Amino acid sequence: AKDYELRQYETAKWVSTVIKGETQKEAMRQGFWKLFHYIQGKNEKEMKIDMTVPVTCLVKSGYTDFKISFFVPFEHQDSPPQPTDSDVFIEERKAAAIFVRSFGGFASPEKYAEEAEALARILRNRGQPFHEDFFYTAGYDSPFKLFNRHNEVWYFKK
C-alpha cells in the first residue's frame, strides 16, 4: 500500500535493555548508551561490535517501561557475546509479519505516537488485524545526519 508496507522479518537476536519510569525521550537516551557500551566492548568477550540499525524502542500503551534494542549484526547472530551489564540482555525475536509506516525528519516521541496512530487508523480502516497494545519505533540515522532521515513505526500483524 502507498501509506504502509507489510514486511516479513525472520527470527533474529537483538541486544536490549529496559528503562523504567522515565519519559520515552530520556529512556531512549539512557538505553542507547547502555547498548552502545555493550557494542564498544562491555561484554564477556570484551569484543567491539559494529553499530547496526535500526535502533528500536518498544512502546506499550499505559506503561512507562521502554525496551530499547540494537540489532545484533549477522556475523554475531549465532553466538553474540553476553553482556556484562546486568541491565542489558540478548533476546531472540521470533519471525513475524510487521506493518511498517516510514517517515522522515527528526523523530520525537510525539511524532512517533502520531505516526503510530495514523498507521493504526489505516490498518483498522482496511480490516487488517494487528496487535494494538504495543508498537515499535525504529530509527535508522545517527543524530548527526541532518537530511534524508528515515524513521519507522511498526505494528505486528495478528
What pLDDT sits at residue 9?
97
Q: What is the pLDDT along the chain (158 residues), one digit of tens a residue?
A: 789 999 999 999 999 999 998 999 999 999 999 999 999 999 999 999 999 999 999 999 889 899 999 999 999 999 999 999 999 999 999 999 999 999 999 999 999 999 999 999 999 999 999 999 999 999 999 888 999 999 999 999 99
d(CA 71, CA 54): 7
Question: What residues contact 99, with CB distance under 8 A and at least 6 apart?
Answer: 4, 5, 6, 119, 123, 128, 130, 154, 155, 156, 157
> Residue 124's domain spans which residues?
5-156
**How high is the pLDDT of residue 143?**
83
pLDDT for 62 equals 87
CATH number of domain containing 119: 3.20.80.10
Quick check: helix, strand or coil at residue 128?
coil
How many domains does the chain divide into?
1
